[in-house]
Amino acid sequence: MASTMKGPGIFLAQFAGDAPPFNSLPAIAKWAAGLGYEGVQIPTWDGRLFDLAKAASSAAYCDEVKGILADAGVAVTELSTHLQGQLVAVHPAYDAQFDGFAPASVHGNPKARQAWAVEQMRLAAKASKNLGLGASVSFTGALAFPYLYPWPQRPAGLIEEAFAELGRRWKPILDAYEDAGVDVCYEIHPGEDVFDGATFEMFLDAVGGHRRCNINYDPSHFLLQQLDYLDFIDIYHERIKAFHVKDAEFNPTGRQGVYSGYKGWMERAGRFRSLGDGQVDFSGIFSKLAQYGYSSWAVLEWECCLKHPEDGAAEGAPFIRNHIIRVTEKAFDDFAGGSTDRAALRRMMGID
């Protein structure tokens, strides 16, 4: 059956703030709807917009959230647990930086921080179910990423043990999402142990091919590592259950390339850009996703080192809407066809 993706949606994380209209769910939802968005992806860690614990325990609260959004003219696309998912697995080198993603009560205590993150993920499964959602978006976290480049030489078995541990930590969480009927769509992202197709396959093996282990497709991260992001869809389309529409550009020079020499975002060879300002082939992406029947949301994730976020948001809705392909329900050459039967087909080929 023909299916058309939903959208445009917008991820609210980069826009939420202390000033109106970005400081409450009703106000930011009306702002998004006013720009032409039909859905909002909610960051579950931002208490100004959403109470995750309450959503997990109260269907009435979730009905209230859906009502607020409906009054504004939008729906919830997915819940995001990127920050909590990141904390399910943290290499000690990043402890100080990632403590900021968690409550002060668990700072300096990696085990307590991990336990908090796991509980947050479980709450998001219940909240997603209460909201009637079939998917959520997150990160895997990382234990091996500091060893990405094989120098000094990695001890034999280090990567294998990292992914085995990642699987041990995530398998019970994925089981909770199975109970809730919700997919976890991991954003394939540098800084996570799952940063490309090969590492996603390793992770999928580590969780026993779990059917709730899926992908939040974001081509910007693939362009910056020079991965074929169209071929990625051909290979993994069955696992792509969410879509971040984000642009990027890669302009290597004689001084820097993929690693970009510790430069800031403005000076990097690879930079995130507002939709349409970068190099991502979105016509190709939307065509590929339509070809494979992707029918979930197309959600703007805005990040740009140059353009003002409100301008990026305003331009994003029409950009996405103009790229969504209304999938046809009939073949373009149906007019030239005719009814046949098996006997007629055999006669055409000279088969007795």
Confidence of residue 59 (pLDDT cuts 50, 70, 90): very high
Question: Mean of the pLDDT values across residues 205-217?
Answer: 98
Query: For residue 32, what pLDDT band results from cuts at 50, 70 and 90?
Result: very high
Q: What is the pLDDT of residue 344?
A: 87
What are the structural domains, with CATH classification, of the chain?
6-348 (3.20.20.150)
Q: What is the mean pLDDT of residues 189-203?
A: 98
pLDDT value of position 319: 98
Percent pLDDT > 90 in the chain is: 93
pLDDT of residue 332: 62
CA distance 116 to 102: 8
pLDDT of residue 217: 98
* Confidence band, pLDDT 50/70/90 cuts, at residue 155: very high
pLDDT tens for 85-110 read: 999 999 999 999 999 999 999 999 99
Is the pLDDT at 295 greater than 90? The verdict is yes
So what's the pLDDT on residue 261? 84
Look at residue 188 in the predicted model and tell me its pLDDT: 98
Give pLDDT, residue 175.
Answer: 98
Mean per-residue pLDDT for 148-162?
97
pLDDT-derived band at 243 (thresholds 50, 70, 90) equals: very high
pLDDT for the residue 336: 60
Instruction: Determine the average pLDDT of the residues in 121-132.
Output: 98
pLDDT at 143: 98
pLDDT band for 183, please (50, 70, 90 cuts).
very high
